[in-house]
Chain A
Amino acid sequence: MASDSKEIVGAEPAKLKLYSYWRSSCSQRVRIALNLKGLDYEYETVNLLKDEQFDPEFEKLNPIKYVPSLVDGDVVVGDSLAIILYLEDKYPQHPLLPKDLKKKALNLQVANIVGSSIQPLQNLSILKFIETKFDADEKLKWVQHYIVQKAFSALEKLLKDVPGKYTTGDEVLLADVFLAPQIDAGVARFRIDMTEYPRLARAHAAYSELPAFQAALPERQPDYPT
């Protein structure tokens, strides 16, 4: 679980450090993965609203200046998918990718639909750009109609006949790790109506009950504004 780096006194510091922002869905994916694997880590806040991602010290950890970034001893990894696949190798407990190649590929496809076709097109800098150039209404339309609806409808089609409690079956896997923060953000910030996506919604309700997912929520992070 996360320890706010300010609160560690005396004891040996956790080996893993996660540079994260409370609201970043990419950071949330890694927080979920760390929790599922039972890995302690030090939470290093990068305040995106204060432009801390542009600090030269942070840039050394991730030259694209995005969160999250993971430091594991002398290994530094940026990008949530790369981090999670690194964790999969290094800490194989609670594997997030199944051995079955078909199911593994499905999980990777879901993760990449989220990671390449949804999140990047609604990141902070794009939203700021659209809101500045047009207005808040256009920003919402951008996210709802052009990004989320297209991707969520596709995911619903891809997954509707896949049985199971969670996204791709009865185990919590990579697809769940990527979808959870995306759906949370969709509902909380962009008024996405999940009743249009029943297969996604059902899985979401199930994994959201798990402690690993709850502890990773934005509002539970040390840098959540009180």
Chain B
Amino acid sequence: MAHDSKEIDEPAPAKLKLYNYWRSSCSQRVRIVLNLKGLDYEYKAVNLMKGEHFHPEYEKLNPIHFVPTLVDGDIVVGDSYAVILYLEDKYPQHPLLPKDLKKKALNLQVASIVSSSIQPFHGVPRLSFVEAKFNDDERLKWTQHYLGKGFTALEKLLKDVPGKYATGDEVLLADVFLVPQVHAAITRFGIDMTAYPRLSRAFAALCELPAFQDALPERQPDCPSTA
């Protein structure tokens, strides 16, 4: 679980440090995984609104200026997909990838659809090119278009896959990537998830689990009290 680094009085801070931001869906993925694996970590807030991701100290950790970044002793890993697969290897409890190659590939594909075909389009509206040349309405439409396309594909991919969660009755990689994306879609981009019943069903079941609840943006130490 997370400790806000200001509140630790006891000796021996957690070995794992996660540089992240409350609202970042990529950060949320890693928080979920750390929780599922029962791993303590120090929460290092990087305030994206204040441009802290561009500070030279942070750039040393992650030259592309994204969150999250994980520090595990002398190992520094950037990018949520890379961080999660690192955690899978290093801390194999509650494995997120099944042994069955078909099911494993399905989980990897779901994760990739989210990380390559949906999430990158949230960041797009803030690129100065798009801010300068598109109005608010157009930017929202752009994001909604890619969310819709991605969710439609995921719904088709998973509609005949039985189970309580995304790919079956165990919580796996697909669930880790899906939940923050759906959460962002609902809370920030006005997406109506009733169009995606298979995704919605898995999302509802996952949201009940403590590991997922504790990872929610609104539960993080750096979530503004006005949010």
Q: Which residues of A contact B (CB under 8 A)?
A: 59, 63-66, 74-75, 77-83, 85-86, 89-90, 101-102, 104-106, 108-109, 111-113, 115-117, 119-121, 134, 138, 141-142, 145-146, 150-151, 153-155, 157-158
A78's nearest neighbour on chain B, judged by CB, is B109
Chain A proximity of B80: nearest CB distance (Å): 8
Most buried by A among B90, B117, B119, B150: B117
For A80, list chain B residues within 8 Å (CB). Answer: 112
Contact of B63 with A86 in the complex, beta carbons under 8 Å: no
Residues of A within 8 A of B102 (CB): 74-75
Verify A75–B112 contact, CB threshold 8 A.
no
Stretch at the interface among B30-38, B81-89, B182-190, B212-220: B81-89
B window 68-91: CB within 8 A of A: 75, 77-79, 81-83, 85-86, 89-90
From known contacts A108-B79, A108-B85, infer whether A81 and B105 are also in contact, taking CB-CB under 8 Å. Answer: no
B residues 89-122 in Cβ contact with A at 8 Å: 89-90, 101-102, 104-105, 108-109, 111-113, 115-117, 119-121
Closest chain B CB from A213 CB (angstroms): 22
Q: How far is the CB of A59 from chain B (nearest CB, A)?
A: 8
- Cβ A117 vs Cβ B120 within 8 A: yes
Judge whether A101 and B75 touch: CB under 8 Å: yes
CB-based contact B75/A120 at 8 Å: no
The residue on B at minimum CB distance from A108 is B82
Q: What is the bound-complex CA distance between A108 and B77, given in angstroms? A: 9
Contact A82 B63 (CB under 8 A): no
Tell whether A113 pairs with B90 under 8 Å between CB atoms, given A77-B109, A121-B124.
no
CB of B81 within 8 A of CB of A112, answer: yes
> CB-CB < 8 A to B129: which residues of A?
141-142, 145-146
A/B pair count, beta carbons within 8 Å:
118
**With A65-B153, A142-B129, A146-B127 as contacts: A116 and B120 at CB distance below 8 Å:** yes
Query: Are A113 and B108 in contact (CB-based, < 8 A)?
Result: no
- Contacting residues, chain B, for A79 (C-beta < 8 A): 108-109, 112-113, 116
Contact check, B79 vs A134: say whether CB atoms are below 8 A apart. Answer: no
Give the Cβ gap from B137 to chain A, nearest Cβ, in Å.
14
Residues of B within 8 A of A153 (CB): 63
The answer to whether B120 touches A105, judged by C-beta atoms less than 8 angstroms apart, is no
Q: How long is the Cα–Cα vector from A64 to B112 in the complex, in angstroms?
A: 11
* Residues of A close to B64: CB separation below 8 A: 113, 117, 150-151, 154-155, 158
Instruction: Establish whether residues A116 and B153, one from each chain, have CB atoms under 8 Å apart when the complex forms.
Output: no
Q: Are B90 and A101 in contact (CB under 8 A)?
A: yes
A33, chain B: closest CB distance, angstroms: 14
CB distance from A30 to the nearest CB of B (A): 13
Judging by beta carbons under 8 Å apart, are B120 and A86 in contact? Answer: no
CB atoms of B153 and A105 under 8 A apart: no
* Additional A-B contact list (17), CB under 8 Å, known A81-B116, A101-B89: A63-B157, A65-B153, A79-B108, A79-B109, A81-B81, A86-B101, A102-B75, A104-B89, A105-B83, A105-B86, A108-B82, A108-B86, A116-B115, A120-B117, A146-B129, A150-B64, A151-B64
